[in-house]
């Protein structure tokens, strides 16, 4: 019998199997030495992503924040490293749990933060998640509407997470059992710890995005389970408690212009409409609002109107009470509003809105208005969307039906809502193209077109209302005032939508007044014409409405009138009014904010801050309408000090 052939000796030159073994050995050596590095990859990728998203802001952080950022980076390394370590084990059931958690957390944390930053120029933090719980239906509605963009933001973290898991299992070898046992204890500990370890999440966000995310989710869980509170962002409108006003003599109003009955006043209020998408004065060609444009051709434009915040609830309080958003919660809930004044004077009044009163419980604030007619979204459509409200067409139909039931002189507000995000459009009536609902930064102009199509669609309802008023028997005695509660940002300074800043893209609103011959005295008309280019604020609207109702100088209302900071713009503005300093903020006693932002304006100078700024910024909104040229402390005189004192907490901390 032949002896068995000798197997080829390993390591002999020229033997292909030997070469392969050598390669495998060196790979194994490399893996032993450097395999652990794969555990650091997740945190490294997160850091690179963070610097790609907001490197400029990280470099601009005051030095004292670097320690906090470094601590967050270490926390991130430990968290992802330990989780990946556990997920790449060869044995034990926990490795499956760890693997699932690793991919899930990577997808949720980074997908959310990348999406959030692309829309709001800041990371989702604890304040925003708690704020979100009070408007959760809106949050889900908006995510549904922006589905494709959400998917493109969460897909990369999902794929990278899965790839890292695969790589760790291939390249990392668990050798020491003692180390393995230690890790088995540490991994669950860090899993819990990330949700409770404090971090810098508010102003400068001196933490990595994943750490801010876990902190937010942990805080939210605490809030939901009833531990700990975060009251400042949960501030919402409550029930009003206005004083009982003295009964006024209605005859006073009727005789104001020597006409009987006196003039009717209608405020047409819309939602999120920017001044630059409206046609303020009549023009032969108005692409965004052709029907409004044609219905009130003799309107007097107001080209420099600003809202005092960019939040609907705050602006309703400002427009109706004449108080600033910086007034106390108590003041904002106890001040009489225009309907109270009208009621005291025996003036019939109505409030018709397509807005949803369940939105963060705003119903409470309006439930006791002394109006003879009032409707909200669910009166018009029981299944109205919480953000869009009922279809504005239904609002016009209802208001047309009821306005003829009002006793003259009357005061009415018709409040439209379909231009709120996610914007109601009709593909059949969408002249602005290309138009896309996506919030992808690369599609900003298509998204702006989508918004303009919503403005165009709403114009059909507002135009129909205006035509009806102009054709009604009371038309010649009726003054119509038009404005929007606030404007809307399209990433001019990074952020989208409203409530994020008091920059002009969020507060420069359209305004006009339609006053037929005989409704204004010569002096009033001349003052109004002067106001066309004057810097006006929504705080000027309540005094103007009172003036139009004939109640401005009523002695018994003097104490309330004195608390209003604005001036009627159907009277000449005094020097005092022009030099007045006004507070602008989305963090008010009637509505809390997810991200703090504040400002003040005096004339055309604006001091503005968001919580993550290193300090206040100063702009001249007339000389620099895009607010690109920060004039610094010297450019705004004492305004920065004024703002610091008013708000008590300058941007970037003390
Ligand atoms: Zn609004």
Distance 606 CA to ligand 1 centre (A): 22
In this prediction, residue 306 carries a pLDDT of 98
DSSP state of 385: B
Cβ atoms within 10 Å, residue 124: 23
Q: How far is the CA of 196 from the centre of ligand 1 (A)?
A: 35
* Ligand 1 geometric centre to CA of 183 (Å): 51
How many other C-beta atoms lie within 10 A of the C-beta of residue 152? 15
Distance CA 191, CA 202 (A): 23
- Distance between Cα 468 and ligand 1 center (Å): 25
The structure tokens listed for 169 are 């299992």
For residue 260, the model assigns a pLDDT of 43
Report CA(71)–ligand 1 centroid distance (Å).
39
Q: Is 184 left (phi over 0), alpha (psi -120 to 50) or beta?
A: alpha
Label residue 472 by pLDDT band (50, 70, 90).
very high
**Beta-strand runs (E) in 178-263:** none
**Ligand 1: centre distance to CA 421 (Å):** 9
In the prediction, which pLDDT does 122 show?
80
- C-alpha 439 to ligand 1 mean position (Å): 19
pLDDT tens digits, one per residue of 341-360: 999 999 999 999 999 877 76
For residue 477, the CA-to-ligand 1 centroid distance in Å is: 30
414 Cα to the center of ligand 1, angstroms? 14
Read off the pLDDT band of 253 (50, 70, 90): low
How far is the centre of ligand 1, averaged over its atoms, from the C-alpha of 219 (Å)? 28
Give the pLDDT confidence score for residue 1 in this predicted structure: 42
Query: Which ranges of 367-413 would DSSP assign to H, the alpha helix?
Result: 377-380, 392-403
Q: H/E element holding 374?
A: strand 373-375
Give the pLDDT band (50/70/90) at residue 5. very low
Query: Across the chain, what does the average pLDDT equal?
Result: 88
Three-state SS for 322?
Answer: coil
* Stretch 425-452: mean pLDDT: 94
pLDDT > 70? residue 11: no
Ligand 1 centroid to Cα of residue 199, in Å, is 32
- Tell me the three state secondary structure of residue 14: coil
Backbone phi, then psi, for 640, in 5-degree steps? -65, -40
pLDDT for residue 136: 62
**Count of beta carbons in the 10 Å neighbourhood of residue 525:** 16
State how far the Cα of 290 lies from the Cα of 445, in Å rounded to an integer: 21
485: CA distance to ligand 1 center in Å? 5
* 315 Cα–ligand 1 center, Å: 8
CA distance 396 to 464: 7
Reading the block at residue 163, the tokens are: 């790839």
- The rounded distance, in Å, linking the Cα atoms of 293 and 560 is 36
Per-residue pLDDT tens digits for 197-228: 888 887 778 899 999 999 888 888 887 776 65
Q: How far does the centroid of ligand 1 lie from the alpha carbon of residue 330, in Å?
A: 22
Residue 310 CA, ligand 1 centroid: distance in Å:
7
Q: What is the largest CA-CA distance in the chain?
A: 135
- Mean pLDDT confidence for 226-241: 69
Cα Rg, the chain, nearest whole Å: 31
Ligand 1 centroid–CA 420 distance in Å is 7
| Each residue's pLDDT tens digit, 491-508 | 999 899 999 999 999 999
Q: How confident is the model at residue 175 (pLDDT cuts 50, 70, 90)?
A: low
Closest CA to 81 of 39, 32, 33: 39
CA of 80 to the centre of ligand 1 (A): 41
pLDDT of residue 138: 63
Whole-number pLDDT of residue 258? 45
Give which of 178, 202, 174, 207 is closest to 46, Cα–Cα.
207
Q: Give the tokens for residue 502.
A: 């008091």
> Coil, helix or strand for 606?
strand
What's the gap in Å between 9 CA and the centre of ligand 1? Answer: 81
What pLDDT shows up at residue 121? 77
Burial class (CB in 10 A: 0-12, 13-18, 19+), 243: exposed
Per the model's pLDDT, the better-predicted residue between 304 and 260 turns out to be 304
Quote the CA–CA distance of 218 and 462 in Å, as a whole number. 45
Contact by Cβ (8 Å): 461, 417: no
484: CA distance to ligand 1 center in Å? Answer: 8
pLDDT at 385: 82
pLDDT of residue 126: 79
* DSSP code of residue 389: B
- Residue given tokens 């699932």 in the structure block: 100
Q: How far is the CA of 368 from the centre of ligand 1 (A)?
A: 21
Q: What pLDDT, in 10s, does the model give residues 531-561?
A: 999 999 999 999 999 999 999 998 999 999 9
pLDDT band at 134; cut points 50, 70, 90: low
Ligand 1 centroid – CA 587 distance (Å)? 14
CA 35: distance to chain centroid?
Answer: 45
Beta strand 300-301 with 511-514 is: antiparallel
Q: Return the bridge partners of 270, or none.
A: 484
Phi-psi region of 228 (alpha: psi -120 to 50; beta: other; left: phi over 0): left
Q: How far is the CA of 543 from the centre of ligand 1 (A)?
A: 21
592 C-alpha to center of ligand 1: Å?
Answer: 14
Task: Kindly state the percentage of the chain with pLDDT values over 90.
Answer: 58
309 CA → ligand 1 middle, Å: 10
- Could you give the CA distance from residue 472 to residue 426 in angstroms, rounded to a whole number? 29
Query: How many angstroms separate the alpha carbon of residue 126 from the centre of ligand 1?
Result: 23
Neighbouring C-beta atoms of residue 179, cutoff 10 Å: 11
Residue for token pair 């915040």? 309
By the 8 A CB rule, do 439 and 291 touch? no
Gap from CA of 630 to ligand 1 centroid (Å): 27
Crossing angle for the helix pair 209-224 and 177-196, to the nearest 10 degrees: 70
Q: How far is the CA of 296 from the CAs of 224, 353, 449, in angstroms?
A: 51, 21, 25
Residue 526 to residue 522: CA distance in whole angstroms: 6
pLDDT tens readout for residues 587-609: 988 888 878 899 999 999 999 99
CA 488 to ligand 1 centroid distance, Å: 9
User: Which is more confidently placed, 94 or 50?
Assistant: 50
N residues, the chain: 654
- Whole-number Å distance between alpha carbons of 176 and 169: 16
Going from the Cα of 416 to the center of ligand 1, the distance in angstroms, rounded, reads: 10
The beta strands (E) that lie in 256-359 are given as: 264-270, 300-301, 305-306, 348-353
Query: Other C-beta atoms within 10 Å of 291: how many?
Result: 18
Q: State the distance from the centre of ligand 1 to the C-alpha of 417, rounded, in angstroms.
A: 8
- Partnered with residue 268 across adjacent β-strands are 414, 482
- Residues 501, 505, 508, CA angle at the centre, nearest 5°? 105
365 three-state secondary structure: helix
Please say if the pLDDT value at position 374 is more than 70.
yes
User: Residue 498 C-alpha to ligand 1 middle, in angstroms?
Assistant: 8
Q: Do the beta carbons of residue 91 and residue 188 sit within 8 Å?
A: no
- Segment 251-280 shows an average pLDDT of 79
């Amino acid at each position: 019998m032949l002896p068995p052939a000798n197997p080829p000796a390993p390591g002999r030159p020229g033997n292909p199997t030997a070469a392969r073994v050598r390669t495998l050995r060196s790979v194994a050596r490399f893996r032993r030495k450097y395999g652990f590095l794969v555990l650091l990859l997740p945190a490294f990728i997160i850091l690179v992503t963070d610097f790609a998203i907001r490197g400029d802001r990280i470099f601009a952080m005051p030095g004292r924040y670097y320690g906090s950022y470094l601590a967050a980076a270490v926390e991130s390394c430990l968290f992802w490293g330990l989780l990946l370590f556990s997920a790449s084990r060869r044995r034990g059931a926990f490795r499956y749990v760890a693997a699932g958690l690793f991919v899930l957390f990577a997808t949720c944390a980074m997908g959310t933060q990348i999406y959030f930053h692309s829309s709001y120029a800041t990371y989702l933090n604890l304040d925003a998640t708690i704020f979100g719980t009070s408007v959760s239906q809106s949050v889900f509605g908006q995510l549904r509407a922006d589905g494709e963009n959400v998917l493109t933001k969460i897909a990369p973290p999902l794929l990278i997470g899965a790839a890292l898991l695969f790589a760790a299992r291939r390249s990392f070898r668990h050798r020491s059992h003692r180390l393995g046992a230690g890790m088995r204890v540490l991994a669950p500990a860090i899993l819990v710890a990330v949700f409770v370890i404090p971090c810098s999440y508010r102003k400068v966000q001196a933490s990595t995005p994943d750490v801010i995310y876990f902190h937010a989710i942990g805080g939210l869980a605490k809030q939901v389970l009833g531990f700990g509170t975060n009251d400042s962002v949960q501030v919402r409108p409550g029930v009003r408690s206005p004083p009982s006003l003295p009964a006024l003599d209605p005859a006073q109003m009727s005789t104001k212009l020597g006409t009987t009955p006196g003039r009717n006043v209608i405020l047409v209020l819309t939602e999120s409409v920017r001044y630059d998408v409206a046609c303020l004065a009549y023009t032969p060609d108005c692409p965004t609002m052709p029907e409004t444009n044609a219905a009130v051709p003799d309107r007097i434009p107001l080209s420099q109107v600003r809202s005092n915040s960019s939040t609907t609830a705050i602006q309703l309080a400002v427009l109706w009470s004449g108080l600033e958003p910086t007034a106390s919660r108590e003041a904002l809930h106890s001040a009489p509003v225009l309907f109270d004044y009208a009621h005291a004077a025996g003036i019939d009044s109505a409030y018709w809105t397509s807005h949803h009163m369940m939105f963060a419980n705003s119903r409470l604030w309006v439930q006791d208005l002394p109006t003879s007619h009032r409707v909200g979204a669910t009166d018009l459509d029981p299944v109205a969307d919480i953000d869009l409200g009922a279809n504005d067409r239904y609002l016009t139909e209802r208001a047309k039906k009821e306005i003829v039931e009002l006793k003259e002189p009357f005061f009415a507000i018709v409040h439209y809502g379909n231009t709120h995000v996610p914007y109601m459009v009709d593909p059949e009536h969408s002249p602005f193209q290309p138009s896309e609902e996506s919030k992808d930064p690369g599609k900003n102009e298509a998204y702006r077109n989508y918004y303009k199509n919503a403005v165009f669609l709403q114009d059909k309802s507002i135009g129909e209302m205006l035509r009806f008023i102009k054709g009604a028997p009371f038309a010649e005695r009726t003054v119509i005032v038009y404005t929007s509660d606030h404007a809307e940002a399209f990433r001019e300074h990074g952020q989208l939508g409203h409530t994020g800043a008091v920059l002009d893209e969020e507060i420069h609103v359209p305004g006009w007044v339609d006053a037929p011959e005989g409704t204004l005295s010569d002096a009033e008309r001349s003052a109004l014409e002067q106001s066309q280019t004057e810097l006006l604020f929504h705080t000027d609207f309540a005094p103007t409405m009172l003036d139009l109702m004939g109640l401005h100088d009523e002695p018994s209302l003097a104490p309330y009138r004195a608390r209003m900071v604005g001036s009627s713009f159907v009277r000449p503005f005094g020097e005092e009014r022009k030099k007045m300093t006004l507070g602008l903020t989305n963090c008010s006693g009637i509505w809390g904010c997810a991200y703090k932002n504040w400002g003040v304006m005096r004339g055309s100078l604006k001091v503005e801050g968001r919580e993550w700024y290193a300090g206040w910024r100063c702009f001249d909104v007339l000389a620099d309408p895009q607010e690109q040229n920060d004039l610094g402390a010297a450019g705004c005189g004492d305004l920065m000090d004024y703002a610091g004192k008013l708000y008590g907490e300058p941007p970037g901390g003390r």
